[in-house]
Amino acid sequence: MSPTGHLAIGFAVKKWDAKVPLVWYLAGATVIDLIYMGLSFLGLEGFGNNPWSHSLLMAFVWSALATTIVWLVTKHVKSAWLMGFVVFSHWILDFIVWDNLPLAFAKNPVLGLGFYNFIGFDLNALTLNFASILATGLELTLLVVGIVVYFSARKQAHSNQNSPVSGSYHTSKGTQS
Protein backbone atom coordinates (compact mmCIF):
# COMPACT_ATOMS: atom_id res chain seq x y z
CA MET A 1 0.00 0.00 0.00
CA SER A 2 1.24 3.46 -0.73
CA PRO A 3 1.64 6.03 2.03
CA THR A 4 -1.79 7.43 1.10
CA GLY A 5 -3.62 4.46 2.60
CA HIS A 6 -1.35 4.28 5.64
CA LEU A 7 -1.99 7.93 6.51
CA ALA A 8 -5.68 7.11 6.96
CA ILE A 9 -4.84 5.18 10.13
CA GLY A 10 -2.87 8.11 11.54
CA PHE A 11 -5.79 10.49 10.96
CA ALA A 12 -8.36 8.08 12.38
CA VAL A 13 -6.41 7.14 15.53
CA LYS A 14 -5.92 10.79 16.46
CA LYS A 15 -9.63 10.73 17.42
CA TRP A 16 -8.73 8.83 20.60
CA ASP A 17 -5.76 10.89 21.74
CA ALA A 18 -5.52 14.59 22.46
CA LYS A 19 -2.02 14.34 23.95
CA VAL A 20 0.03 13.48 20.85
CA PRO A 21 0.13 15.81 17.83
CA LEU A 22 -1.44 14.53 14.62
CA VAL A 23 1.89 14.77 12.79
CA TRP A 24 3.32 12.11 15.15
CA TYR A 25 0.60 9.65 14.15
CA LEU A 26 1.06 10.46 10.46
CA ALA A 27 4.80 9.86 10.82
CA GLY A 28 4.13 6.64 12.73
CA ALA A 29 1.86 5.39 9.95
CA THR A 30 4.62 5.84 7.38
CA VAL A 31 7.74 5.14 9.45
CA ILE A 32 8.15 1.63 8.03
CA ASP A 33 8.25 3.06 4.49
CA LEU A 34 10.64 5.80 5.63
CA ILE A 35 12.94 3.13 7.08
CA TYR A 36 12.64 1.20 3.79
CA MET A 37 13.62 4.29 1.78
CA GLY A 38 16.62 4.97 3.98
CA LEU A 39 17.81 1.36 3.82
CA SER A 40 17.24 1.27 0.06
CA PHE A 41 19.29 4.44 -0.33
CA LEU A 42 22.08 2.73 1.60
CA GLY A 43 21.77 -0.38 -0.61
CA LEU A 44 20.66 -2.59 2.28
CA GLU A 45 17.14 -3.23 0.95
CA GLY A 46 15.38 -3.14 -2.38
CA PHE A 47 12.06 -3.92 -3.99
CA GLY A 48 11.08 -7.47 -3.04
CA ASN A 49 13.90 -7.68 -0.48
CA ASN A 50 12.88 -5.68 2.56
CA PRO A 51 13.25 -7.76 5.74
CA TRP A 52 14.65 -4.94 7.89
CA SER A 53 11.73 -2.63 7.22
CA HIS A 54 8.72 -4.74 6.27
CA SER A 55 9.10 -8.17 7.88
CA LEU A 56 6.64 -9.26 10.55
CA LEU A 57 9.46 -9.51 13.07
CA MET A 58 10.70 -5.99 12.40
CA ALA A 59 7.16 -4.59 12.35
CA PHE A 60 6.93 -5.77 15.96
CA VAL A 61 10.34 -4.23 16.71
CA TRP A 62 9.50 -0.87 15.07
CA SER A 63 6.13 -0.83 16.86
CA ALA A 64 7.73 -1.57 20.23
CA LEU A 65 10.36 1.10 19.63
CA ALA A 66 7.71 3.68 18.70
CA THR A 67 5.62 2.70 21.74
CA THR A 68 8.64 3.14 24.00
CA ILE A 69 9.67 6.49 22.50
CA VAL A 70 6.16 7.94 22.81
CA TRP A 71 5.88 6.72 26.39
CA LEU A 72 9.28 8.20 27.29
CA VAL A 73 8.33 11.56 25.76
CA THR A 74 4.72 11.81 26.97
CA LYS A 75 4.54 9.42 29.97
CA HIS A 76 1.04 8.65 28.64
CA VAL A 77 0.39 4.91 28.28
CA LYS A 78 -2.63 5.28 25.99
CA SER A 79 -0.69 7.48 23.55
CA ALA A 80 2.20 5.02 23.54
CA TRP A 81 -0.03 2.03 22.80
CA LEU A 82 -1.91 3.91 20.10
CA MET A 83 1.38 4.82 18.42
CA GLY A 84 2.49 1.19 18.56
CA PHE A 85 -0.80 0.21 16.90
CA VAL A 86 -0.39 2.86 14.20
CA VAL A 87 3.11 1.65 13.35
CA PHE A 88 2.03 -1.99 13.30
CA SER A 89 -1.06 -1.16 11.24
CA HIS A 90 1.35 -0.45 8.38
CA TRP A 91 2.28 -4.13 8.27
CA ILE A 92 -1.39 -5.19 8.56
CA LEU A 93 -2.42 -3.05 5.57
CA ASP A 94 0.57 -4.26 3.55
CA PHE A 95 -0.33 -7.86 4.47
CA ILE A 96 -3.78 -7.32 2.95
CA VAL A 97 -2.58 -5.86 -0.34
CA TRP A 98 0.79 -7.57 -0.96
CA ASP A 99 1.87 -11.21 -0.94
CA ASN A 100 5.61 -10.80 -0.39
CA LEU A 101 6.12 -9.71 3.22
CA PRO A 102 8.92 -11.66 4.90
CA LEU A 103 8.44 -13.24 8.32
CA ALA A 104 11.92 -12.26 9.43
CA PHE A 105 15.11 -12.30 7.39
CA ALA A 106 16.61 -14.03 4.35
CA LYS A 107 15.37 -17.46 3.29
CA ASN A 108 12.15 -17.15 5.28
CA PRO A 109 8.69 -17.67 3.85
CA VAL A 110 6.73 -14.64 2.78
CA LEU A 111 3.21 -13.72 3.79
CA GLY A 112 0.33 -11.70 2.44
CA LEU A 113 -3.17 -11.96 1.07
CA GLY A 114 -2.16 -10.35 -2.22
CA PHE A 115 -5.28 -8.28 -2.92
CA TYR A 116 -3.38 -6.16 -5.44
CA ASN A 117 -2.28 -9.29 -7.31
CA PHE A 118 -5.88 -10.52 -7.27
CA ILE A 119 -7.11 -7.37 -9.03
CA GLY A 120 -4.12 -7.32 -11.40
CA PHE A 121 -2.25 -4.34 -9.94
CA ASP A 122 1.49 -4.49 -10.57
CA LEU A 123 3.77 -1.93 -8.95
CA ASN A 124 6.55 -2.85 -11.39
CA ALA A 125 4.44 -2.03 -14.45
CA LEU A 126 2.35 0.96 -13.51
CA THR A 127 -0.14 1.64 -16.24
CA LEU A 128 -3.48 3.35 -16.32
CA ASN A 129 -5.82 0.38 -16.21
CA PHE A 130 -8.73 -0.85 -14.14
CA ALA A 131 -6.45 -2.38 -11.49
CA SER A 132 -4.45 0.81 -10.91
CA ILE A 133 -7.65 2.87 -10.79
CA LEU A 134 -9.17 0.42 -8.29
CA ALA A 135 -6.02 0.38 -6.12
CA THR A 136 -5.79 4.18 -6.15
CA GLY A 137 -9.50 4.48 -5.42
CA LEU A 138 -9.17 2.11 -2.46
CA GLU A 139 -6.29 4.07 -0.97
CA LEU A 140 -7.91 7.45 -1.52
CA THR A 141 -11.14 6.15 0.03
CA LEU A 142 -9.21 5.00 3.10
CA LEU A 143 -7.55 8.41 3.32
CA VAL A 144 -10.85 10.28 3.00
CA VAL A 145 -12.46 8.09 5.68
CA GLY A 146 -9.50 8.70 8.01
CA ILE A 147 -9.66 12.46 7.44
CA VAL A 148 -13.44 12.49 7.98
CA VAL A 149 -13.03 10.60 11.27
CA TYR A 150 -10.33 13.07 12.34
CA PHE A 151 -12.30 16.21 11.50
CA SER A 152 -15.59 14.89 12.89
CA ALA A 153 -13.83 14.11 16.18
CA ARG A 154 -12.30 17.61 16.22
CA LYS A 155 -15.67 19.19 15.51
CA GLN A 156 -17.30 17.14 18.27
CA ALA A 157 -14.53 18.02 20.75
CA HIS A 158 -14.87 21.71 19.87
CA SER A 159 -18.66 21.68 20.30
CA ASN A 160 -18.33 19.81 23.61
CA GLN A 161 -16.08 22.57 24.97
CA ASN A 162 -18.94 25.06 24.64
CA SER A 163 -21.69 22.72 25.80
CA PRO A 164 -23.32 23.19 29.21
CA VAL A 165 -23.33 19.41 29.54
CA SER A 166 -19.54 19.17 29.36
CA GLY A 167 -19.01 20.35 32.92
CA SER A 168 -18.58 24.10 32.77
CA TYR A 169 -19.59 26.86 30.42
CA HIS A 170 -19.39 30.62 30.20
CA THR A 171 -22.36 32.93 30.70
CA SER A 172 -22.61 36.69 30.82
CA LYS A 173 -22.35 36.42 34.63
CA GLY A 174 -19.19 34.27 34.65
CA THR A 175 -18.30 30.60 34.61
CA GLN A 176 -20.89 28.05 35.70
CA SER A 177 -20.15 24.50 36.81
Range of the domain at 123: 3-157
Question: Residue-wise pLDDT tens for the chain (177 aa)?
Answer: 677 889 999 999 999 998 999 999 999 999 999 999 999 999 998 877 889 999 999 999 999 999 999 999 999 999 999 999 999 999 999 999 988 899 998 767 888 998 888 888 877 777 788 888 888 899 999 999 999 999 998 888 777 776 554 444 344 555 444
Is 168 part of any domain? Answer: no
Distance CA 58, CA 166 (A): 43
Is 169 part of any domain? Answer: no
Question: Contact 37/175 with Cβ under 8 angstroms?
Answer: no
Is 57 part of any domain? Answer: yes
Is 120 part of any domain? Answer: yes
Is 173 part of any domain? Answer: no
Is 114 part of any domain? Answer: yes
Is 174 part of any domain? Answer: no
| Half-sphere exposure in the Cβ direction for 15 (13 Å, CA) | 16
Number of domains within the chain: 1
Is 171 part of any domain? Answer: no
Give the burial string for 112-132 (b: 16+ CB within 10 Å, else e). Answer: beebbeebebeeeeeeeeebb
